[in-house]
Amino acid sequence: MFVLRCSLRRTRVKHLLDCHSSWGSSCIGVHHRMSSSSPHPVAAVCQVTATPDKEANFTACKRLVQAAKEGGASMVFLPEGFDYIGSSREETLNLSERLTGDIISRYTLLAKKLSVWLSLGGFHERGHDWETDRRIYNSHIIINEKGDIVSVYRKSHLFDVELPGRGVSLKESAFTIPGSSLIPPVQTPIGKVGLGICYDLRFPELSLALLRQGAEILTYPSAFTVATGAAHWEVLLRENTGMALLEIDLEKLRDTQRNMPVQQHRRDTSFYYSLGGKD
């Protein structure tokens, strides 16, 4: 498995690009700059330190996207919370916007100007009934090189956790609306990208559903809190703020799938619910 994660220093936001051949994706190489003669498309994964200052966050992300484009990337991935990380629930809600708001409009213009695809990994999107219930979606947005929004996935699994011994109580469902459905993988310059967000990673059914729909790359832009993320930082989040480039070799993926046809070995669904049954 090849996994690259991007993080925020404050609440440890990361971007995870899962490139496991048996699950439907493959990547080769991690470099600071790719050769213009590379036969493979190039993706860039970025990490930033987000704050409640939306203007500063946009400036930091814009610089990373520009650097990624200069490095040869055709698609750039930003982490969950790229727009901001609020210091309280009320601030988080007050800073949220609609898809038609200023932040996403600026990213669509940036994508068009640089002619690059963007994966915006966790946008605080105001819900359809914002005026009455003041709740938001956690949305993963894909923008193409023309500046068009081509896909929006709203996080399905909300992170609610109680850690009594540590005095921690987190309830994402208190102010976030769960998405109503999965979104088909998106055809991009680097392959068919399946969209998830953070806690969705814990539910393999989501990955399998995306795989069945042809996903070649699975993405899980994520945010760790201090309390829940400490155990992961040293192992998973050793990078600083910045950007890494990857060549995406889909032919290598297909060769691996032909040589090791994992999906053909999968039993029918009823088999996995047959614990305790008789032969």
Residues with catalytic annotation? 80, 155, 198
Establish how many alpha carbons lie within 13 A of residue 12's alpha carbon, considering only the half-sphere containing its beta carbon.
16
Q: What's the CA dihedral at 143, 256, 222, 224 to 10 degrees? A: -170
Residue located via tokens 């070649």: 216
Report the 10 Å Cβ neighbour count for 245.
21
Which residues, in sequence order, are CB contacts of 46 under 8 Å at separation 6+? 6, 15, 61, 64, 65, 68, 76, 77, 78, 79, 242, 243
Pair type for strands 191-195 and 217-219: parallel
